[in-house]
Amino acid sequence: MLLVVAALAGGVLAVETVLTRPAGGGLALPVDAPGPAGSLQGSLAPPYAGTGPAGTPVTPTVERAVLDSTWTGFAEAVTVGDAPVADSYGTPSAVAAGAGEEGCDCLVARPGPTTAFDTSGRPGYPATFLAQFLDSQADGSYVVVLATFRQASRAEPWLVTSFGIIDGQPYLQPGSNTTTAVPAVPATLARAPREFAAYFQALDTTGRTSTPLPPGFVGGAVLSTFVDGSRASYRDRRRDGTATAGSHVVVSVGRPFDISGADLPGYPGLLESWVMVHRYTQHAPAGRWYESSGRRSAVSSLPAGQYTSVRVVSTIEVTVAYDADTGSLTLLANQESAQVVSGTTR
């Protein structure tokens, strides 16, 4: 029997972690050989700590310097699974979600001239901006990375606060650099994080929801995969007798960016990122257990032993678009990872 220990009842993980049954009937906790923690230390530029003139902390020079240091360091550390180094370049939630991208060469670590920027016109701190990176594909489409950056004060470095990976077409004009006024947040978007979490909480708990999709959202490939994966996970847990109680909570909501002036067809009005944390306990099927070797792993750090259940924390970063013409929301991307944080011994 195969069991996905990190299966998110509220969605599909970017990288699934599979437990296999070893000899003796147990289920092996996923463990990697000792990873390269700290292997990049000293080989990357430190996160950029500069700023623009008083009242204008974000300038084109600052943006490019942030990409060449903060983003490159974050992307390269995440790609090789070097969490200690990634911690220097990103917020805890960005680093946690980035664990799902280990081994994926999809973060465009060294963006080129097609990079586009969008900056909120709010002066002072915290300072933020949005960057769009493109990686062209053979079929004419792109892998689009939307990343947000934040500097809390003039004395602190710039950090990655969120990122989303999208297959399709860009949302900002490639190579553009736009400064927009701070947008008013419409009621639909203001309610959306709480309603989004409540929707997946109901799906995780009962397998049923009062609406086909989270309130305010329209369908799309990313959201459909998220919802279908949640329903399948609930059915699998019910079938295997491993159903668990869990919680979904949106723990942070980023500043929205107004891209309604983008010179591209089909653009939405606002882009916003959230971080949702899903905590749950996964029980082993009757008569079996989870086996941990105690070796270091990106997904498990339990001591060696046999466990009847494991507690999992999943971090989900979502990138959401608000369409000002229709008042609807679209889920553009969800970057996820899960970590086994504790267990009940056999």
Using only the alpha carbons of the chain, give its radius of gyration.
Answer: 21
Give me the residue spans of the domains in the chain. 3-30+184-254+268-345, 60-180
Tell me what pLDDT residue 6 has.
31
| HSE toward the beta carbon, residue 122, CA cutoff 13 A | 15
Instruction: Name residue, tokens 């004419």.
Output: 140
What single letter denotes the amino acid at residue 15? Answer: V
The closest of 93, 47, 86, 85 to 69, measured between CA atoms, is 47
Tell me what pLDDT residue 15 has.
29
Using 50 as the pLDDT threshold, list the residues of the chain that sit under it: 1-24, 31-36
Tell me what pLDDT residue 294 has.
63
The closest of 159, 114, 120, 56 to 270, measured between CA atoms, is 120
323: which 2 tokens? 């369409």
Tell me what pLDDT residue 12 has.
29
Task: Tell me how long the chain is.
Answer: 346
342: which 2 tokens? 């504790």
CB neighbours of residue 131 within 10 Å: 25
SS (H, E, C) the chain: CCEECCCECCECCCCCCEEECCCCCCEECCCCCCCCCCCCCCCCCCCCCCCCCCCCCCCHHHHHHHHHHHHHHHHHHHHHCCHHHHCCCECHHHHHHHHHHCCCCCCCCCCCCCCEEEEECCCCCCEEEEEEEEEECCCCCEEEEEEEEEECCCCCCCEEEEEEEEEECCCCCCCCEEEECCCCCCHHHHHHHHHHHHHHHHHHHHCCCCCCCCCCECCCHHHHHHHHHHHHHHHHHHHHCCCCCEEEEEEEECCCEECCCCCCCCCCCEEEEEEEEEEEEEECCCCCCEEECCCCCCCECCCCEEEEEEEEEEEEEEEEEEECCCCEEEEEEEEEEEEEEEEEEC
d(CA 198, CA 196): 5
Tell me what pLDDT residue 20 has.
43
- Vertex 207: Cα angle to 203 and 208 (nearest 5): 80
Tell me what pLDDT residue 124 has.
82
